[in-house]
Structure 1
Amino acid sequence: MKFSMTEHGFETATQYGTLSISSNDEHGFRPYQLLVSAVAVCSGGVMKKVLQKMRMPAEDIQIDVKEVHRNPDVADRVERIHLHFTIKGAGIDEAKMPRIMELTAKNCSMVQSVKDSIDIRETYEVIR
């Protein structure tokens, strides 16, 4: 990836279009939003694969970022993220969800990349 400076931040060209990044959310995605998005969507993708391998495919997975705590005393550092997963599927065994959550966190490259510096809390609910 190559990033080019603009009047309000930076841009990069992707196969899906231009990604604008700025400290001002009127001009693009803020860097912390991209970080949180990467953690959330990576987790959701891994969860989807884990459920498929366990023969409990999800009809839908929604991810709600309930909390992002940033420390204003340390460069607005992201210190805590709370992700809440709503999983819809008639065949999902709730008794297996703790193991599914464990495997999701263990196999998500983004969670593994930040686990020693950001407290990631993951909760879930299953809807049939």
Structure 2
Amino acid sequence: MKFEMTENGFQTETSFGTLQISGNEEFGFRPYQLLISSIAVCTGGVMRKVLERKRMPATSITIEVKDVYRNEEEASRVERVHLHFLIEGIEMTNEKMDKIMQVTDNNCSMYQSVKNCIEVVKTYEFVN
């Protein structure tokens, strides 16, 4: 990837188009939003694969970012994020889902990259 400076931030060309990144969300994605998005979507994608391998494919997975705590005293460092998963189309016990969440954590590269510096709280609920 190559990032070019613009008047209001940076941009890069991807196969899906131009990605605008800026400290001001009027001009693009803020860097912390991309960080949180990477953790959330990587976790959701791995969870989807784990459920498929267990022959319990979800009809839908929605990920809500419930909370992001940034430490203003340390350059607004992201210290905690709460991800809430709404899982549709499967029925299982909390015990089995807790095991699936553990396998997901072990196989999500973004979670593994930040687990020792950002607390990632994950909750879930099953939706009919």
When normalised by structure 2's length, the TM-score is: 0.97
Distance 1:100 1:23 in 2: 36
> 1: CA distance between counterparts of 2:77 and 2:44?
23
1:39-68, CA deviations, whole angstroms, 9 ceiling, x for partnerless residues? Answer: 000000000000001110000000000000
What's the CA shift string for 1:76-115, capped at 9, x where partnerless?
A: 000000000000014x322410101111111100000000
Question: Following the alignment from structure 2 to structure 1, what is the Cα–Cα distance between the partners of residues 79 and 110?
Answer: 15
Q: Size of the alignment, in residue pairs?
A: 127
Q: Which runs of 4+ in 1 moved over 2 A?
A: none
Q: Which residue of 2 aligns with 1:93?
A: 92
Q: CA deviation at 1:127?
A: 1.9
Secondary structure of the corresponding residue to residue 73 of structure 1: helix
Instruction: Determine the structure 2 residue equivalent to 1:112.
Output: 112
- Distance in 1, matches of 2:86 and 2:102, equals 16
Identify unmatched segments of 5+ residues in structure 1: none
Structure 1 equivalent of residue 39 of structure 2:
39
TM-score, L = length of structure 1? 0.97
In the TM superposition, what are the counterparts of 1:1-128 in structure 2 within 5 Å? 1-90=1-90, 92-94=91-93, 95-128=95-128
- Looking at structure 1, the residues matched to 32 and 106 of structure 2 have their Cα atoms a distance apart, in angstroms, of 22
